[in-house]
Structure 1
Amino acid sequence: MMNRRSLGRTTLFLAASASLGLPLPALAGDEAADALVKRLTNGVLDAVKSDKSIQNGELDKLVALVDRTVMPHVNFRRITAATVGPGWRQATPEQQKRLQEEFKILLVRTYAGALTRVSEQTVQVRPLRAAPQDKDVLVRTEILGRGAPIQLDYRLEKTPGNGAGWKIYNMNVLGVWLAETYRSQFTQVINTRGIDGLIETLVERNKANAAKG
Protein backbone atom coordinates (compact mmCIF):
# COMPACT_ATOMS: atom_id res chain seq x y z
CA MET A 1 0.00 0.00 0.00
CA MET A 2 1.28 3.47 -0.84
CA ASN A 3 2.01 5.89 1.98
CA ARG A 4 1.00 9.57 1.83
CA ARG A 5 4.34 10.70 0.42
CA SER A 6 4.35 8.01 -2.31
CA LEU A 7 0.76 8.82 -3.24
CA GLY A 8 1.59 12.51 -3.40
CA ARG A 9 4.54 11.94 -5.71
CA THR A 10 2.34 9.68 -7.87
CA THR A 11 -0.33 12.32 -8.32
CA LEU A 12 2.32 14.99 -8.88
CA PHE A 13 3.37 13.27 -12.03
CA LEU A 14 -0.22 12.61 -13.05
CA ALA A 15 -0.86 16.31 -13.25
CA ALA A 16 2.36 16.94 -15.14
CA SER A 17 1.66 14.14 -17.60
CA ALA A 18 -0.90 16.00 -19.70
CA SER A 19 -4.27 14.46 -20.37
CA LEU A 20 -3.20 11.08 -21.80
CA GLY A 21 -4.23 11.98 -25.31
CA LEU A 22 -7.32 14.00 -24.48
CA PRO A 23 -7.83 16.98 -26.87
CA LEU A 24 -6.44 20.33 -25.80
CA PRO A 25 -8.52 23.52 -25.86
CA ALA A 26 -8.31 25.45 -29.11
CA LEU A 27 -6.99 28.48 -27.23
CA ALA A 28 -4.62 26.70 -24.86
CA GLY A 29 -2.38 29.77 -24.73
CA ASP A 30 -5.22 31.72 -23.10
CA GLU A 31 -6.01 29.07 -20.50
CA ALA A 32 -5.41 30.17 -16.91
CA ALA A 33 -2.69 28.35 -14.97
CA ASP A 34 -5.05 26.96 -12.34
CA ALA A 35 -7.54 25.89 -15.01
CA LEU A 36 -4.76 24.06 -16.84
CA VAL A 37 -3.68 22.21 -13.70
CA LYS A 38 -7.26 21.24 -12.90
CA ARG A 39 -8.01 20.04 -16.43
CA LEU A 40 -4.85 18.01 -16.76
CA THR A 41 -5.12 16.43 -13.35
CA ASN A 42 -8.76 15.44 -13.68
CA GLY A 43 -8.22 14.22 -17.23
CA VAL A 44 -5.34 11.98 -16.23
CA LEU A 45 -7.04 10.65 -13.11
CA ASP A 46 -10.16 9.77 -15.11
CA ALA A 47 -8.12 8.12 -17.87
CA VAL A 48 -6.12 5.97 -15.46
CA LYS A 49 -9.21 4.95 -13.49
CA SER A 50 -10.99 3.85 -16.67
CA ASP A 51 -8.09 1.95 -18.28
CA LYS A 52 -7.95 -1.60 -16.95
CA SER A 53 -4.77 -2.42 -18.85
CA ILE A 54 -2.93 0.40 -17.07
CA GLN A 55 -4.34 -0.68 -13.73
CA ASN A 56 -3.20 -4.23 -14.47
CA GLY A 57 0.38 -3.07 -14.90
CA GLU A 58 1.02 -2.58 -18.63
CA LEU A 59 3.90 -0.20 -17.98
CA ASP A 60 5.27 -0.09 -21.51
CA LYS A 61 1.95 1.28 -22.74
CA LEU A 62 1.82 3.83 -19.96
CA VAL A 63 5.45 4.88 -20.31
CA ALA A 64 4.96 5.53 -24.04
CA LEU A 65 1.77 7.45 -23.35
CA VAL A 66 3.33 9.65 -20.68
CA ASP A 67 6.42 10.21 -22.80
CA ARG A 68 4.26 11.39 -25.69
CA THR A 69 2.06 13.76 -23.68
CA VAL A 70 4.12 15.24 -20.84
CA MET A 71 6.57 17.41 -22.73
CA PRO A 72 4.10 19.99 -24.12
CA HIS A 73 3.20 21.00 -20.56
CA VAL A 74 6.56 20.93 -18.80
CA ASN A 75 9.69 23.03 -19.23
CA PHE A 76 11.91 20.01 -18.88
CA ARG A 77 15.14 21.84 -19.62
CA ARG A 78 14.48 24.21 -16.74
CA ILE A 79 13.62 21.35 -14.37
CA THR A 80 16.77 19.45 -15.32
CA ALA A 81 18.97 22.53 -14.95
CA ALA A 82 17.50 23.31 -11.53
CA THR A 83 17.94 19.72 -10.42
CA VAL A 84 21.56 19.43 -11.56
CA GLY A 85 22.32 22.77 -9.91
CA PRO A 86 25.66 24.59 -10.46
CA GLY A 87 26.99 21.59 -12.38
CA TRP A 88 24.58 22.41 -15.22
CA ARG A 89 26.61 25.47 -16.19
CA GLN A 90 29.76 23.34 -16.28
CA ALA A 91 28.22 20.83 -18.67
CA THR A 92 28.74 21.02 -22.42
CA PRO A 93 25.67 21.30 -24.70
CA GLU A 94 25.99 17.58 -25.48
CA GLN A 95 26.18 16.70 -21.78
CA GLN A 96 23.15 18.87 -21.06
CA LYS A 97 21.26 17.06 -23.81
CA ARG A 98 22.18 13.67 -22.36
CA LEU A 99 21.22 14.76 -18.84
CA GLN A 100 17.79 15.86 -20.04
CA GLU A 101 17.25 12.61 -21.93
CA GLU A 102 18.24 10.34 -19.06
CA PHE A 103 16.48 12.38 -16.36
CA LYS A 104 13.32 12.34 -18.45
CA ILE A 105 13.47 8.53 -18.76
CA LEU A 106 14.02 8.22 -15.02
CA LEU A 107 11.01 10.33 -14.09
CA VAL A 108 8.67 8.95 -16.75
CA ARG A 109 9.31 5.32 -15.86
CA THR A 110 9.34 5.90 -12.11
CA TYR A 111 6.04 7.71 -12.01
CA ALA A 112 4.40 5.70 -14.78
CA GLY A 113 4.80 2.66 -12.57
CA ALA A 114 3.02 4.46 -9.77
CA LEU A 115 0.12 5.59 -11.94
CA THR A 116 -1.35 2.11 -11.98
CA ARG A 117 -2.17 2.46 -8.27
CA VAL A 118 -4.51 5.44 -8.63
CA SER A 119 -8.08 4.61 -7.69
CA GLU A 120 -10.30 6.97 -5.69
CA GLN A 121 -8.40 10.27 -5.50
CA THR A 122 -9.87 13.64 -6.49
CA VAL A 123 -8.20 17.04 -6.86
CA GLN A 124 -9.15 20.35 -5.28
CA VAL A 125 -7.48 23.45 -6.76
CA ARG A 126 -7.14 26.27 -4.25
CA PRO A 127 -7.86 29.90 -5.28
CA LEU A 128 -5.05 31.34 -7.40
CA ARG A 129 -3.33 34.35 -5.83
CA ALA A 130 -1.95 36.08 -8.90
CA ALA A 131 -2.56 39.18 -10.99
CA PRO A 132 -3.70 38.78 -14.61
CA GLN A 133 -0.36 40.09 -15.89
CA ASP A 134 1.79 37.70 -13.81
CA LYS A 135 4.05 35.43 -15.86
CA ASP A 136 5.20 33.20 -12.99
CA VAL A 137 2.61 31.72 -10.63
CA LEU A 138 2.13 29.17 -7.89
CA VAL A 139 -0.90 26.88 -8.16
CA ARG A 140 -1.79 25.08 -4.94
CA THR A 141 -3.85 21.93 -4.89
CA GLU A 142 -4.87 19.18 -2.51
CA ILE A 143 -5.37 15.53 -3.31
CA LEU A 144 -8.44 14.22 -1.52
CA GLY A 145 -9.14 10.56 -0.89
CA ARG A 146 -8.49 8.15 1.88
CA GLY A 147 -6.66 9.68 4.82
CA ALA A 148 -5.51 13.28 5.22
CA PRO A 149 -5.35 15.65 2.22
CA ILE A 150 -2.04 15.72 0.35
CA GLN A 151 -0.42 19.06 -0.48
CA LEU A 152 0.57 19.31 -4.15
CA ASP A 153 1.78 22.63 -5.59
CA TYR A 154 3.03 23.70 -9.02
CA ARG A 155 5.27 26.48 -10.27
CA LEU A 156 4.32 27.56 -13.79
CA GLU A 157 5.71 30.12 -16.22
CA LYS A 158 3.91 31.80 -19.11
CA THR A 159 5.74 31.16 -22.38
CA PRO A 160 5.41 33.32 -25.52
CA GLY A 161 5.50 32.52 -29.22
CA ASN A 162 4.56 29.21 -30.82
CA GLY A 163 3.20 26.81 -28.27
CA ALA A 164 2.45 29.70 -25.94
CA GLY A 165 0.86 28.84 -22.64
CA TRP A 166 1.68 27.83 -19.11
CA LYS A 167 4.56 25.40 -18.55
CA ILE A 168 5.23 23.54 -15.29
CA TYR A 169 8.81 23.97 -14.13
CA ASN A 170 8.74 22.70 -10.56
CA MET A 171 6.41 20.79 -8.26
CA ASN A 172 6.05 20.55 -4.50
CA VAL A 173 4.76 17.51 -2.63
CA LEU A 174 4.22 17.76 1.13
CA GLY A 175 6.63 20.67 1.36
CA VAL A 176 9.37 19.12 -0.80
CA TRP A 177 10.11 20.54 -4.26
CA LEU A 178 11.00 18.13 -7.07
CA ALA A 179 14.22 19.87 -8.12
CA GLU A 180 15.54 20.02 -4.57
CA THR A 181 14.66 16.38 -3.93
CA TYR A 182 17.00 15.13 -6.64
CA ARG A 183 19.59 17.90 -6.42
CA SER A 184 21.30 16.58 -3.29
CA GLN A 185 21.68 13.15 -4.91
CA PHE A 186 23.00 14.59 -8.16
CA THR A 187 25.43 16.93 -6.39
CA GLN A 188 27.04 14.03 -4.54
CA VAL A 189 27.60 12.17 -7.80
CA ILE A 190 28.97 15.24 -9.59
CA ASN A 191 31.39 15.96 -6.73
CA THR A 192 32.85 12.47 -6.92
CA ARG A 193 32.45 11.47 -10.58
CA GLY A 194 31.76 14.65 -12.54
CA ILE A 195 29.03 15.33 -15.11
CA ASP A 196 29.86 12.22 -17.13
CA GLY A 197 29.62 10.22 -13.93
CA LEU A 198 26.11 11.57 -13.31
CA ILE A 199 25.09 10.66 -16.85
CA GLU A 200 26.46 7.15 -16.38
CA THR A 201 24.63 6.84 -13.06
CA LEU A 202 21.33 7.83 -14.67
CA VAL A 203 21.90 5.42 -17.56
CA GLU A 204 22.59 2.58 -15.13
CA ARG A 205 19.53 3.39 -13.03
CA ASN A 206 17.30 3.55 -16.12
CA LYS A 207 18.58 0.18 -17.34
CA ALA A 208 17.92 -1.34 -13.93
CA ASN A 209 14.40 0.08 -13.84
CA ALA A 210 13.69 -1.21 -17.35
CA ALA A 211 14.91 -4.67 -16.37
CA LYS A 212 12.53 -4.71 -13.42
CA GLY A 213 9.64 -3.87 -15.72
Structure 2
Amino acid sequence: MSRWTTTLTRLLAVALLIPGLALAAPTPPDQLARETVQTVLGRMDGHREELRKDPNQLYKLIDDELIPLVDLPYMSQLVLGRAWRTATPDQRKRFQVAFKNMLIRTYGNGLLAFDDNTDIEYQPVRAAEGADDVTFRAIVTPDSGQKTPVTFQMHIVDGDWKIYDGSVGNLSFVTNYRGQFNSQIRNGGLEKLIERMESRYNGGS
Protein backbone atom coordinates (compact mmCIF):
# COMPACT_ATOMS: atom_id res chain seq x y z
CA MET A 1 0.00 0.00 0.00
CA SER A 2 1.45 3.38 -1.06
CA ARG A 3 1.99 6.22 1.40
CA TRP A 4 -0.72 8.24 -0.35
CA THR A 5 -3.23 5.36 -0.15
CA THR A 6 -2.44 4.87 3.54
CA THR A 7 -3.07 8.56 4.23
CA LEU A 8 -6.32 8.44 2.24
CA THR A 9 -7.47 5.40 4.18
CA ARG A 10 -6.78 6.98 7.57
CA LEU A 11 -8.52 10.23 6.73
CA LEU A 12 -11.57 8.51 5.29
CA ALA A 13 -11.73 6.15 8.25
CA VAL A 14 -12.38 9.01 10.66
CA ALA A 15 -14.43 11.17 8.34
CA LEU A 16 -16.75 8.30 7.35
CA LEU A 17 -18.01 8.25 10.92
CA ILE A 18 -19.38 11.75 10.62
CA PRO A 19 -22.27 12.46 8.30
CA GLY A 20 -25.10 9.95 8.57
CA LEU A 21 -26.01 10.70 12.16
CA ALA A 22 -25.13 14.36 11.81
CA LEU A 23 -28.10 15.04 9.54
CA ALA A 24 -30.57 12.68 11.16
CA ALA A 25 -31.53 14.82 14.15
CA PRO A 26 -32.13 18.49 14.95
CA THR A 27 -28.88 18.63 16.93
CA PRO A 28 -26.42 20.90 15.06
CA PRO A 29 -24.47 18.67 12.64
CA ASP A 30 -21.02 19.76 13.75
CA GLN A 31 -21.89 19.04 17.39
CA LEU A 32 -23.43 15.66 16.68
CA ALA A 33 -20.57 14.70 14.36
CA ARG A 34 -18.03 15.52 17.04
CA GLU A 35 -19.95 13.47 19.60
CA THR A 36 -20.22 10.53 17.21
CA VAL A 37 -16.49 10.50 16.44
CA GLN A 38 -15.59 10.84 20.10
CA THR A 39 -17.87 7.95 21.00
CA VAL A 40 -16.40 5.60 18.42
CA LEU A 41 -12.78 6.56 18.99
CA GLY A 42 -13.45 6.49 22.73
CA ARG A 43 -14.37 2.83 22.46
CA MET A 44 -10.95 2.23 20.94
CA ASP A 45 -8.94 4.26 23.45
CA GLY A 46 -6.98 2.03 25.78
CA HIS A 47 -7.84 -1.00 23.66
CA ARG A 48 -5.85 -0.38 20.48
CA GLU A 49 -3.26 -3.06 21.19
CA GLU A 50 -6.04 -5.50 22.06
CA LEU A 51 -7.82 -4.67 18.81
CA ARG A 52 -4.61 -5.16 16.84
CA LYS A 53 -4.19 -8.60 18.36
CA ASP A 54 -7.83 -9.53 17.84
CA PRO A 55 -8.93 -7.84 14.59
CA ASN A 56 -12.37 -9.45 14.70
CA GLN A 57 -13.29 -7.12 17.59
CA LEU A 58 -12.17 -4.17 15.50
CA TYR A 59 -14.08 -5.36 12.43
CA LYS A 60 -17.26 -5.80 14.48
CA LEU A 61 -16.95 -2.23 15.77
CA ILE A 62 -16.63 -0.88 12.23
CA ASP A 63 -19.45 -3.10 10.97
CA ASP A 64 -21.74 -1.88 13.74
CA GLU A 65 -20.88 1.83 13.66
CA LEU A 66 -19.61 2.74 10.19
CA ILE A 67 -21.12 0.43 7.57
CA PRO A 68 -24.75 1.41 8.34
CA LEU A 69 -23.87 4.95 7.21
CA VAL A 70 -22.87 3.77 3.72
CA ASP A 71 -25.21 3.20 0.78
CA LEU A 72 -23.43 -0.02 -0.09
CA PRO A 73 -25.66 -1.12 -3.02
CA TYR A 74 -25.37 2.21 -4.81
CA MET A 75 -21.66 2.59 -4.09
CA SER A 76 -21.09 -0.92 -5.43
CA GLN A 77 -22.79 0.09 -8.69
CA LEU A 78 -20.68 3.22 -8.94
CA VAL A 79 -17.33 1.53 -8.34
CA LEU A 80 -18.02 -1.31 -10.79
CA GLY A 81 -19.36 1.00 -13.48
CA ARG A 82 -20.16 -0.85 -16.69
CA ALA A 83 -19.32 -4.21 -15.13
CA TRP A 84 -22.30 -3.82 -12.77
CA ARG A 85 -24.72 -3.73 -15.71
CA THR A 86 -23.46 -7.01 -17.13
CA ALA A 87 -22.97 -8.79 -13.78
CA THR A 88 -25.34 -11.57 -12.80
CA PRO A 89 -27.52 -11.17 -9.68
CA ASP A 90 -25.25 -13.64 -7.89
CA GLN A 91 -22.12 -11.71 -8.85
CA ARG A 92 -23.66 -8.45 -7.65
CA LYS A 93 -24.57 -9.97 -4.30
CA ARG A 94 -21.15 -11.57 -3.83
CA PHE A 95 -19.36 -8.37 -4.82
CA GLN A 96 -21.30 -6.32 -2.28
CA VAL A 97 -20.41 -8.75 0.51
CA ALA A 98 -16.73 -8.77 -0.42
CA PHE A 99 -16.68 -4.99 -0.92
CA LYS A 100 -18.27 -4.45 2.50
CA ASN A 101 -15.69 -6.69 4.14
CA MET A 102 -12.92 -4.84 2.33
CA LEU A 103 -14.25 -1.52 3.69
CA ILE A 104 -14.50 -2.94 7.21
CA ARG A 105 -10.86 -4.05 7.18
CA THR A 106 -9.52 -1.00 5.35
CA TYR A 107 -11.15 1.60 7.58
CA GLY A 108 -10.81 -0.41 10.76
CA ASN A 109 -7.07 -0.59 10.31
CA GLY A 110 -7.02 3.09 9.32
CA LEU A 111 -8.74 4.11 12.55
CA LEU A 112 -6.10 2.34 14.61
CA ALA A 113 -3.53 4.78 13.23
CA PHE A 114 -5.24 7.81 14.80
CA ASP A 115 -5.09 9.04 18.37
CA ASP A 116 -6.53 11.89 20.41
CA ASN A 117 -4.23 14.41 18.69
CA THR A 118 -6.15 14.16 15.42
CA ASP A 119 -8.20 17.33 14.94
CA ILE A 120 -11.41 17.47 12.89
CA GLU A 121 -12.99 20.80 11.98
CA TYR A 122 -16.60 20.31 10.95
CA GLN A 123 -18.17 22.71 8.51
CA PRO A 124 -21.91 23.41 8.38
CA VAL A 125 -23.93 21.68 5.69
CA ARG A 126 -25.35 24.24 3.26
CA ALA A 127 -28.22 22.97 1.18
CA ALA A 128 -31.62 24.12 0.01
CA GLU A 129 -34.57 23.22 2.19
CA GLY A 130 -35.82 19.75 1.32
CA ALA A 131 -32.63 18.78 -0.52
CA ASP A 132 -32.10 15.03 -0.74
CA ASP A 133 -28.48 15.16 -1.94
CA VAL A 134 -25.88 17.19 -0.03
CA THR A 135 -22.16 17.62 0.45
CA PHE A 136 -20.63 17.40 3.90
CA ARG A 137 -17.22 19.01 4.43
CA ALA A 138 -14.59 18.78 7.14
CA ILE A 139 -10.92 19.60 7.63
CA VAL A 140 -8.86 16.77 9.12
CA THR A 141 -5.50 17.53 10.73
CA PRO A 142 -3.54 14.40 11.76
CA ASP A 143 -0.38 14.31 13.85
CA SER A 144 1.68 15.56 10.89
CA GLY A 145 -0.12 18.91 11.10
CA GLN A 146 -1.02 18.98 7.41
CA LYS A 147 -4.62 20.11 6.95
CA THR A 148 -6.61 18.02 4.47
CA PRO A 149 -10.12 18.79 3.19
CA VAL A 150 -12.52 15.87 3.28
CA THR A 151 -15.92 15.87 1.59
CA PHE A 152 -18.75 13.35 1.44
CA GLN A 153 -21.62 13.10 -0.99
CA MET A 154 -24.78 11.95 0.74
CA HIS A 155 -28.33 11.26 -0.31
CA ILE A 156 -31.50 10.02 1.33
CA VAL A 157 -32.26 6.31 1.21
CA ASP A 158 -35.48 5.13 2.84
CA GLY A 159 -35.59 8.23 5.01
CA ASP A 160 -31.96 8.05 6.18
CA TRP A 161 -28.88 9.94 5.01
CA LYS A 162 -26.30 7.64 3.45
CA ILE A 163 -22.81 8.19 2.06
CA TYR A 164 -22.34 7.21 -1.58
CA ASP A 165 -19.07 8.96 -2.42
CA GLY A 166 -16.45 11.23 -0.93
CA SER A 167 -13.06 12.72 -1.52
CA VAL A 168 -9.82 13.53 0.22
CA GLY A 169 -8.30 16.52 -1.49
CA ASN A 170 -9.43 16.21 -5.10
CA LEU A 171 -9.60 12.42 -5.43
CA SER A 172 -13.01 10.78 -5.34
CA PHE A 173 -13.34 7.63 -3.26
CA VAL A 174 -15.51 6.01 -5.96
CA THR A 175 -13.16 7.07 -8.77
CA ASN A 176 -10.17 5.60 -6.91
CA TYR A 177 -11.75 2.19 -6.43
CA ARG A 178 -13.36 2.17 -9.88
CA GLY A 179 -9.94 2.60 -11.44
CA GLN A 180 -8.49 -0.26 -9.39
CA PHE A 181 -11.39 -2.61 -10.07
CA ASN A 182 -11.70 -1.81 -13.78
CA SER A 183 -8.02 -2.54 -14.27
CA GLN A 184 -8.41 -5.95 -12.66
CA ILE A 185 -11.60 -6.67 -14.60
CA ARG A 186 -9.86 -5.88 -17.89
CA ASN A 187 -7.03 -8.23 -17.00
CA GLY A 188 -9.04 -11.15 -15.67
CA GLY A 189 -12.75 -10.49 -15.72
CA LEU A 190 -15.31 -9.68 -13.03
CA GLU A 191 -15.56 -13.22 -11.69
CA LYS A 192 -11.85 -13.39 -10.95
CA LEU A 193 -11.98 -10.00 -9.23
CA ILE A 194 -14.81 -11.21 -6.99
CA GLU A 195 -13.03 -14.48 -6.22
CA ARG A 196 -9.86 -12.59 -5.34
CA MET A 197 -11.75 -10.26 -3.03
CA GLU A 198 -13.65 -13.13 -1.41
CA SER A 199 -10.41 -14.99 -0.77
CA ARG A 200 -8.76 -11.94 0.77
CA TYR A 201 -11.58 -10.28 2.70
CA ASN A 202 -14.43 -12.70 3.43
CA GLY A 203 -12.71 -14.89 6.01
CA GLY A 204 -13.58 -14.22 9.64
CA SER A 205 -16.15 -11.48 9.07
Same structural fold, with TM-score higher than 0.5 when normalized by the shorter chain: yes
1:157 aligned onto 2:165: no
Q: How many residues of Structure 1 are paired with residues of Structure 2 in the alignment? A: 200
Amino acid at match of 2:192: G
CA distance in 2, matches of 1:137, 1:106: 26
Amino acid at match of 2:133: D
What is the aligned partner in structure 1 of residue 197 from structure 2? 202
Contact 1:138 1:156 in 2 (8 A): yes
Contact 2:13 2:110 in 1 (8 A): no
Contact 1:151 1:174 in 2 (8 A): yes
Choose from 137, 142, 150 the match for 2:139.
Answer: 142
Structure 1 residues 118, 199: closer, same or farther in 2, change over 3 A? same
Amino acid at match of 2:160: G
**1:58 offset after TM fit, Å?**
3.3
List structure 1 runs of 4+ shifted beyond 4 angstroms.
2-5, 29-39, 52-57
Q: TM-score under structure 2 normalisation?
A: 0.81
Consecutive unaligned residues of structure 2, counting only runs of 5 or more, are: none
Contact 1:49 1:118 in 2 (8 A): no
Q: TM-score under structure 1 normalisation?
A: 0.79
Identity %: 27
Structure 1 residues 183, 156: closer, same or farther in 2, change over 3 A? same
**1:194 offset after TM fit, Å?**
2.0
Deviations 1:5-47 (A, max 9, x none): 63442131234357xxxxx79x946667666644433432333
1:11 aligned onto 2:6: no
CA distance in 1, matches of 2:182, 2:68: 28
- Output the aligned Cα RMSD: 3.0
Q: Map 1:98-177; keep pairs closer than 5 Å.
A: 98-119=94-115, 120-146=117-143, 147-160=145-158, 164-177=159-172
**1:108 offset after TM fit, Å?**
1.0
1:182 aligned onto 2:181: no
Consecutive unaligned residues of structure 1, counting only runs of 5 or more, are: 19-23
1:49 aligned onto 2:45: yes
